[in-house]
């Protein structure tokens, strides 16, 4: 499958697939568990029963399953990932889950195999910093294309702490994450969203987590929509 840009490291995640769930469970254990951590982020997407949701870079599907519960039997969640082994693990989980409103497929975020305006929600969990600049721009443009008017995008990714312990921790983290993460933080994700889809996607909510190491962004497709609906939740 064509990867389009060098910044979307499918090979790395092919190698990590077998240990991915264990690693995530370990790190989130100290924060109350993976289900709780992901759930706290997912609630910002405002998923309603009957919504059609695209989970970009779904990995082994943990977040996809949580969102499928919220979308209900009349809704649908589609998880995509470029790493074939990640998708294989997600499908094994699906076979045991009994859920009928979720599917997984190997696909590239830069060239989504879906019609225009086909999703109510699109989510990115720690995906964009693994792409280079061109890859992020392509993925955000594609997101705008497949998102319905008034639909929301949820992005949970790295952020640049302004001071203190957060800045020190980020410096250590970037030793592992590599140059695409550093580039995203230097350019600023808000600026890249404006560059890629400024006439379509508007940031309507931003929250910082974990001493500013992580950000939660909610975007709205305002191309043919009036305004963001709903009161913002309390700070994370």
For the beta carbon of residue 183, count every other beta carbon within 10 angstroms: 16
Nearest to 188 by CA among 230, 209, 229, 157: 157
Q: How confident is the model at residue 233 (pLDDT cuts 50, 70, 90)?
A: very low
Q: Is the pLDDT at 171 greater than 80, yes or no?
A: no
Distances (CA, A) of 81 to 141, 156, 168, 200: 17, 16, 31, 24
Helices (H), the chain: 10-29, 34-42, 62-71, 84-97, 133-146, 164-177, 179-187, 189-197
CATH number of the domain encompassing residue 19: 3.40.50.150
Q: State phi, psi for 106 to the nearest 5 degrees.
A: -80, 125
Least confident residue range of 4-13, 148-157, 163-172: 4-13
Q: How confident is the model at residue 33 (pLDDT cuts 50, 70, 90)?
A: low
Residue 138 inside a domain? The answer is: yes
Count of alpha carbons within 13 Å of 183, Cβ hemisphere only?
15
Q: DSSP assignment of 106-166, as one string?
A: E--TTS--S-TT-EEEEEEES-GGGS-HHHHHHHHHHHHHHEEEEEEEEEEEE----SHHH
Q: Is the pLDDT at 155 greater than 90, yes or no?
A: yes
Residue 235 inside a domain? The answer is: no
Q: What is the C-alpha to C-alpha distance for residues 29 and 11, in angstroms, rounded to an integer?
A: 27
Q: Do residues 124 and 38 touch, judged by C-beta distance below 8 A?
A: no
Q: Comparing 55 with 212, which gets the higher pLDDT?
A: 55
**pLDDT for position 219:** 96
The model's pTM:
0.86
Residue 2 inside a domain? The answer is: no
Nearest 5 degrees, angle CA 41-CA 159-CA 220?
55
Residue 107 inside a domain? The answer is: yes
Q: Residue 198 sits in which domain range?
A: 10-221
Cα 199 from chain centroid (whole Å): 21
Q: Do residues 137 and 195 touch, judged by C-beta distance below 8 A?
A: yes
CA dihedral 118, 124, 127, 129 (to 10 degrees): 110
Q: What is the C-alpha to C-alpha distance for residues 130 and 128, in angstroms, rounded to an integer?
A: 5
Residue 49 inside a domain? The answer is: yes
**pLDDT for position 26:** 58
Residue 228 inside a domain? The answer is: no
Residue 227 inside a domain? The answer is: no
Residue 139 inside a domain? The answer is: yes
| Total domains present in the chain | 1
Least confident residue range of 67-71, 81-85, 114-118: 81-85
- Mean pLDDT across the chain: 84
Strands 214-221 and 201-209: antiparallel
Least confident residue range of 112-126, 150-164, 192-206, 222-236: 222-236
């Amino acid at each position: 499958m064509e990867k389009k840009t060098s910044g979307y490291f499918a090979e790395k995640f092919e190698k990590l697939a077998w240990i991915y769930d264990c690693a995530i469970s370990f790190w989130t254990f100290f924060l109350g568990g993976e289900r709780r951590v992901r759930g706290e982020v997912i609630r910002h997407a405002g998923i309603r029963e009957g919504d059609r949701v695209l989970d970009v870079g779904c990995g082994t599907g943990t977040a996809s399953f949580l969102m499928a519960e919220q979308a209900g039997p009349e809704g649908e969640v589609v998880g995509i990932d470029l790493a074939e082994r990640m998708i294989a693990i997600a499908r094994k989980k699906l076979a045991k889950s009994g859920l009928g409103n979720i599917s997984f497929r190997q696909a590239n975020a830069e060239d989504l195999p879906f019609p225009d305006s086909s999703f109510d929600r699109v989510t990115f969990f720690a995906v964009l910093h693994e792409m280079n600049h061109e890859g992020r721009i392509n993925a955000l443009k594609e997101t705008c294309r497949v998102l319905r008017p008034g639909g929301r995008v949820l992005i949970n990714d790295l952020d640049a702490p302004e001071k203190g312990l957060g800045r020190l921790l980020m410096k250590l983290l970037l030793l592992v994450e590599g140059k695409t993460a550093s580039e995203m933080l230097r350019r600023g994700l808000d600026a890249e969203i404006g560059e890629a889809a400024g006439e379509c996607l508007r940031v309507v909510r931003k929250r910082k987590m974990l001493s500013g190491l992580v950000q939660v962004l909610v975007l709205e497709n305002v191309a043919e929509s009036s305004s963001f609906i709903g009161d913002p939740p309390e700070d994370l």
